[in-house]
Amino acid sequence: MSGRLDGKVALITGAASGMGRAATVRFAREGARVIACDLDLDAVRESVAMAEAAGGRALAVRADVSKETEVREAVRAGIKAYGKLDVLYNNAGIFPSADHSVVDTDETVWDKVLAVNVKGVYLVCKHGIPELLAAGGGSVINVASFVALVGCSVPQDAYTASKGAVIALTKSLAVQFGPKGIRANAICPGPIETPLLSAWLFKEPAEKAKRLNRIPMNRFGKSEDIVNTALFLASDESSWTNGAALVVDGGITSNYF
């Protein structure tokens, strides 16, 4: 049975866990050859093993997306293995517990968040988009966040600023490269049950309940909820979707009270 991504090659960052691991497995199952990138090589190898167990093909590559030399080498490794690139899935991101308001967030925390969440997208696009152009076009998928669209009384200002930048950059890419057959879109997830969020939020019942009460669907999102949207954007089904910021948040940004 054919898959929705047959013949495509996708580079996925942050592929060692959470949404990145789910995307690696699902994209491979749908026929894509996946370049799975992450800082944690052992964990990303586990993601690749899961993808292969599902009948797909994937390559594990260690890369810190905030380091240009490592991103360049990851792209080169993918091209060497699979010959082309069709999809860039910028999923890697950090959400440190020390990220608060601008008035009490340390500069080192701010710089680290922006380096991974924004510079990482820039570097993957810098080295990946030329390969998409060489392949005749493709899809850039950037993971932003619902917090880029609304204010928050419990702020994570570095993260919020970084995700707002991702949306703005996505729209610029859409205009620049749309005429050349490359569409660029952002996904704005609501709170998702991933290790990144669970590490601090789900350990605090009051904080967890506070956020859950804001979601009309009365549940946190699953990684698959976001990956399903990414699958659409990676596939030819989204051939006229360009410059969008798709909100997948269970309705949290529509909730006035």
Is there a contact between 118 and 162 (Cβ–Cβ < 8 Å)? yes
CA 149 – CA 160 distance, rounded (Å)? 9
Whether residue 99 contacts residue 157, with contact meaning beta carbons closer than 8 Å, is answered with yes
DSSP assignment letter at 51: H
Q: Decide: residue 189, CB within 10 A, 0-12 exposed, 13-18 middle, 19+ buried.
A: buried
Output the CA–CA distances (angstroms, integers) from residue 81 to 11, 16, 35, 64, 117, in the order listed.
12, 19, 9, 20, 27
Render pLDDT for 74-123 as a digit per residue (tens, 0 to 9).
999 999 999 999 999 999 999 998 999 999 999 999 999 999 999 999 99
- Is the separation of the CB atoms in 236 and 177 below 8 Å? no
pLDDT band at 132 (very low <50, low <70, confident <90, very high): very high
Give residue 11's pLDDT: 99
Q: Rounded mean pLDDT of 58-80?
A: 98
CB 216 within 8 A of CB 251: yes
Kindly report which listed range (39-53, 172-186, 193-207) carries the lowest average pLDDT score.
193-207
Q: Is 52 left (phi over 0), alpha (psi -120 to 50) or beta?
A: alpha
Residue ranges and CATH numbers for the domains of the chain are 9-193+222-241 (3.40.50.720)
Let me know: does 23 contact 92? Beta carbons within 8 Å. Answer: no
Query: Which pLDDT value is given to residue 213?
Result: 86
DSSP 105-124: --HHHHHHHHIIIIIHHHHH
pLDDT score, position 256: 84
> Structure tokens of 22?
């789910």
Work out the average pLDDT over 174-183: 98
State the pLDDT at residue 200: 60
pLDDT (0 to 100) of residue 154? 84
Tokens of 252: 């949290």
Percentage of residues of the chain with pLDDT beyond 90 = 87
Shortest CA distance to 12 belongs to which of 29, 42, 35, 45? 35
Classify the C-alpha dihedral 240-243-248-253 as positive or negative: negative
In this predicted structure, the answer to whether residue 207 has a pLDDT above a threshold of 90 is: no
Catalytic residue among 82, 89, 122, 159: 159
Instruction: Write the pLDDT tens digit of every residue in 15-36.
Output: 999 999 999 999 999 999 999 9
Q: Give the C-alpha separation, 125 to 119, whole Å.
A: 10
pLDDT tens track for 219-250: 999 999 999 999 999 999 999 999 999 999 99
206 has pLDDT over 90: no
For the record, the structure tokens of 5 come out as 């991504």
Give me the pLDDT at residue 9, please. Answer: 98
**159 noted as active-site residue:** yes
